[in-house]
Amino acid sequence: MINVLLITFLMTLFFVAIANRLLTYIKVLALQGVILFTVVFIQLSHINTLNLILILMETIFFKSIAVPLFLAYIIKHNKITREAEPYVPHFISLIIVTVICIASILLVNSIEDNQLDKIFFVVALSALFTGLYFIISRRKIITHVMGYLIMENGVFVLSLALGSEMTMLVNIGIMLDIFVSVLVLGIFTNRIGDTFEAMSVDNLSNLKD
Amino acid sequence: MFGYYLIIVLLLGTGTLLNRNRVIRILLLAVFLAVQTAIAIYGYLHLNTGELGGTFYYDSLGVLFLGVLSVLSYTTVFHSYRYLHHRDDDSRKQSIYFTALIILIGAMTCVYLAASIGVMWVLIEATTLSVAVLIYHERTHLSLEATYKYVFICSIGITFAFVGIVFLSKALQETKSVNLSFTDIPGHLQNVNTFWLKLAFVFMLVGFSTKMGLFPMHTIEVDANTVAPPPISAFISTALLNVGFMAIFRTYSLMAHTSILPWMNHILLWSGFLSIFVSTVYILSVNHLKRMFAYSSLEHMGLVAIGLASGGIGYFAAILHMVLHSFVKASVFYQIDQVFRVFNTFIINKTGNYFNKNLTGALVMLLIFMSITAMPPSGMFISEFLIFRSLFASHNILLLVLILLMLTMIMWAVGKNIFTMLFLPQNEPTGKFVKISPWESSTQFFLLTTAIYLGLNPPAMFVQLINDAILVLPK
């Protein structure tokens, strides 16, 4: 069951690579939150109940409801154009994400470790580097944040791979999540949208030598 | 004791945030400085004991950097006060500024004393958030850009560091150990899969370099220094760099007794060399006073990384260099605040004749030039000399020659820029003439002479602290 869920998670990455509208990105982020919720439910079912409830609440509330709603609000409020406007064509994005996935699979397969949950590591590393790739290849500040959220979901999957022995890691991952939410809130409470016209990275090039 | 410290810091932070009265604000800050000094002295008197159930631990390196931080807190609060007074900021902005400053100093104290890697990681996040508020203080377009970049890239860095921690835990999992404290980890790492350790080290090095300002994550440090208020720049390029160094040093010392030590040294050597190279390239062409000194920080961090990688006396030299660099670089940025008030610009070509306009400040600048380029009698001469000696001892002669060449170029460029500002006539006057009280330079004289004193004639307890700190590393 976990395998099915994680592979669905991997497929969402490909979907984002060719998605055109910002709303699709938000929906995918919400879907990833729901997937992570289910994975936590299955993977960590035997840990301390209170802690489990905390982690479940965090995935369902932060990842799948609060952050997507807030991003949708920002897009509406700041009148951001609804297209993602990447620097590279979708087709090439798709190829690059595929290459990232294959590279992760090869990397993880080269490890000689018989108690390794390979699928967790493949999915996590793919999400991590795909998120990084989205940050580099998209033009808008808001897509940067979305790319970062994808990275962060990947890190969460990684911490789940060890979560049953080290619950502390998952809790630290949650700290990261809350930190990101604060970051998103802080940056986007109107100010950056008002100051940077069209919220494009092209306006972020005044500081240089 | 540390629990009380945390509570008091939080209370004082809240108090400063709510308070709008000038006298009460000064009182709150004075109480804070007293508490900060108290915790540093308490830490020194209780070396090698834990606090709050072992969450925090007074170890030598932490206490040493805590001492540096406490000294710099006094000067930074004083210069922040002058800076805000000069800018005529309203009371609300001043409250936000000082609250963020108190939280920042508190968070850095906690990072220095954190006993486990998870706690340290969480607190490094806290430093990012609080320093972002301070960088954004001037509320201009440029400061927004720098703050955005700083926060965003630091978050990516912190994510990478977290991935590194997960890999380290994966390695530990094989030994059935679930304890992530610094004293406990090394004993379990003897027979684990080195592949995980290598991955963990690379991810953590990249992640924590956002704080230490090493290549390739140095750009945000430079940008943040450009726009931050000068007293805050003084913190970003001293105490915050120490935070990054601390994190990298801890990571390094965790894995130093495993078989990947030569490999780690290799990576650190490259990282340091590239840092110095990039800083040379930029410093030769830079025309912005603050950016120039930001790139000089990059150079010194590169030297420290190389010292750490060369081993032997290099370990000692790296820590000594961090401490001396903190004192010198802090006084640089306090002085830059005065320069800006005189010239109303940071662009070096538009300044000139600083000797006539502010005699005491110009003397400080001369002293800074000698200290930052590590000419004798600067204390940094000693630490750089020791770093070069360790490079020589580890048979990296070619690297040593290249670095010496680049340092010469940096010395020339820094000298040219500083002497332009001091002696050449100013082309056109910028802003109206402001008289600066000579007393404002006293802190810089104090810090610079401290750096000389600590370099030339280090007190026994200071040497003892550094020697204790490097006991965790192989001989």
**Chain B residues whose beta carbon lies within 8 Å of the beta carbon of residue A135:** 156
* Residue B70 clears pLDDT 70, i.e. is over it: yes
Contacts (Cβ under 8 Å, ≥6 apart) of B78: B443
* Residue B342 clears pLDDT 60, i.e. is over it: yes
CA separation (Å) from B329 to B77, B112, B216, B218, B343? 16, 20, 21, 16, 21
The Cα A175–Cα A160 span in angstroms is 14
Direct distance between the N- and C-terminal alpha carbons of chain B, in angstroms, rounded to an integer: 35
What one-letter code names the amino acid at B121? W
3-state secondary structure of B116: strand
For residue B406, how many C-alpha atoms fall within 13 Å in the half-sphere facing its CB?
24
**Chain B residues whose beta carbon lies within 8 Å of the beta carbon of residue A146:** none
Q: Considering Cα of B214, then B450, then B290, then B364, what sign does the dihedral take? A: negative
The Cα B148–Cα B143 span in angstroms is 8
**Cβ–Cβ contact A144 with B under 8 A:** yes
3-state secondary structure of B57: strand
- Each residue of B350-404: pLDDT tens digit? 888 888 889 999 999 999 999 999 988 888 999 999 999 999 999 889 999 999 9
**How many residues are recorded in chain A?**
209
Greater pLDDT, A179 or B423: B423
**Chain B residues whose beta carbon lies within 8 Å of the beta carbon of residue A161:** 166, 170
* Inter-chain residue contact A179 with B148, CB threshold 8 Å: no
pLDDT in the model for residue A190: 52
**Cβ–Cβ contact B140 with A under 8 A:** no
Encode B286-312: b = buried (16+ Cβ within 10 Å), e = exposed. Answer: bebbbbbbbbbbbbbbbbbbbbbbbbb
Residue B171 binned pLDDT confidence (cut-offs 50, 70, 90): confident
The Cα B380–Cα B372 span in angstroms is 7
pLDDT in the model for residue A200: 63
Report the DSSP beta bridge partners of residue B114. Answer: B56
Which stretch, A135-149, A190-204, B29-43, has highest mean pLDDT?
B29-43
Residue A185 binned pLDDT confidence (cut-offs 50, 70, 90): low
CA separation (Å) from A129 to B203, B300, B390, B458? 13, 31, 38, 47
Judge contact between B283 and B410, C-beta under 8 A. yes
The Cα B299–Cα B279 span in angstroms is 6
pLDDT in the model for residue A184: 66
The Cα A40–Cα A6 span in angstroms is 11
Judge contact between B425 and B295, C-beta under 8 A. no
**Cβ–Cβ contact B118 with A under 8 A:** yes
Closest CA to B328 of B211, B456, B466, B444: B444
Six token digits for residue B352: 């000139």
Query: How far B145 CA lies from chain A's nearest CA (Å)?
Result: 6
**Chain B residues whose beta carbon lies within 8 Å of the beta carbon of residue A115:** 174
The Cα A160–Cα A47 span in angstroms is 12
Q: Which of B146, B159, B170 sits opposite A151 (nearest CB)?
A: B159
The whole-angstrom distance between residue A207's C-alpha and the CA centroid of its chain comes to 28
The Cα B73–Cα B70 span in angstroms is 5
Which whole number is the average pLDDT over B337-347? 90
Which whole number is the average pLDDT over A66-89? 81
- Each residue of A160-172: pLDDT tens digit? 887 767 777 777 7
* Inter-chain residue contact B226 with A207, CB threshold 8 Å: yes
Six token digits for residue B427: 């082309």
Greater pLDDT, A112 or B318: B318
Six token digits for residue A6: 């994680």
pLDDT in the model for residue A6: 92
Judge contact between B319 and B463, C-beta under 8 A. no
pLDDT in the model for residue B10: 94
**What phi and psi values does residue B139 have, to the nearest 5 degrees?**
60, 35
pLDDT in the model for residue A201: 64
What one-letter code names the amino acid at B287? N
pLDDT in the model for residue B72: 96
Which whole number is the average pLDDT over B283-310? 94
pLDDT in the model for residue B24: 93
Residue B181 binned pLDDT confidence (cut-offs 50, 70, 90): confident
Judge contact between B47 and B17, C-beta under 8 A. no
For residue A22, how many C-alpha atoms fall within 13 Å in the half-sphere facing its CB?
24
* Residue B82 clears pLDDT 80, i.e. is over it: yes
The Cα B107–Cα B105 span in angstroms is 5
Six token digits for residue B456: 């030339």
**Chain A residues whose beta carbon lies within 8 Å of the beta carbon of residue B180:** 168
* Residue B168 clears pLDDT 60, i.e. is over it: yes
* Residue B38 clears pLDDT 60, i.e. is over it: yes
Angle between helices B141-173 and B117-135 (to 10 degrees): 180
User: Mean of the per-residue pLDDT values for chain A?
Assistant: 82
The Cα A10–Cα A101 span in angstroms is 9
**Cβ–Cβ contact B152 with A under 8 A:** yes
**Cβ–Cβ contact B223 with A under 8 A:** yes
* Residue B35 clears pLDDT 70, i.e. is over it: yes
* Inter-chain residue contact A175 with B125, CB threshold 8 Å: yes
CA separation (Å) from A12 to A64, A158, B70, B78, B219? 14, 17, 49, 53, 33
* Inter-chain residue contact A179 with B286, CB threshold 8 Å: no
Query: How far B163 CA lies from chain A's nearest CA (Å)?
Result: 7
Q: Which chain A residue lies closest to B144 (C-alpha atoms)? A: A192
Pairing status of strand B50-51 against strand B56-57: antiparallel
**Cβ–Cβ contact B144 with A under 8 A:** yes
pLDDT in the model for residue A202: 66
Query: How far B39 CA lies from chain A's nearest CA (Å)?
Result: 27
Report the DSSP beta bridge partners of residue A140. Answer: A200
**How many residues are recorded in chain B?**
475
Stated as kind and residue range, the H or E segment containing B50 is strand B50-51
What is the domain partition of chain B in residue ranges? Answer: 1-259, 260-475
pLDDT in the model for residue A152: 87
Six token digits for residue A127: 């999400």
Query: How far A82 CA lies from chain B's nearest CA (Å)?
Result: 22
Judge contact between B213 and B305, C-beta under 8 A. no
Helix, strand, coil in percent for chain A, rounding step 5 = 80, 5, 20
- Each residue of B233-242: pLDDT tens digit? 999 999 999 9
Judge contact between A155 and A41, C-beta under 8 A. no
The Cα B90–Cα B93 span in angstroms is 6
What one-letter code names the amino acid at B239? A
The Cα A132–Cα A8 span in angstroms is 20
Stated as kind and residue range, the H or E segment containing B56 is strand B56-57
Which whole number is the average pLDDT over B423-452? 87
Encode B345-368: b = buried (16+ Cβ within 10 Å), e = exposed. Answer: ebebebbbbbeebbebbbbbbebb
- Each residue of B115-152: pLDDT tens digit? 989 889 989 988 998 998 899 898 888 888 888 888 88
Direct distance between the N- and C-terminal alpha carbons of chain A, in angstroms, rounded to an integer: 53
- Each residue of A1-41: pLDDT tens digit? 888 999 999 999 999 988 888 889 999 999 999 999 999 88
**Cβ–Cβ contact B294 with A under 8 A:** no
Query: How far B137 CA lies from chain A's nearest CA (Å)?
Result: 14
Which whole number is the average pLDDT over B454-461? 92
Which whole number is the average pLDDT over B1-18? 93
Closest CA to A147 of B120, B324, A139: A139
Residue A83 binned pLDDT confidence (cut-offs 50, 70, 90): confident
* Residue A194 clears pLDDT 60, i.e. is over it: no
**Cβ–Cβ contact B177 with A under 8 A:** no
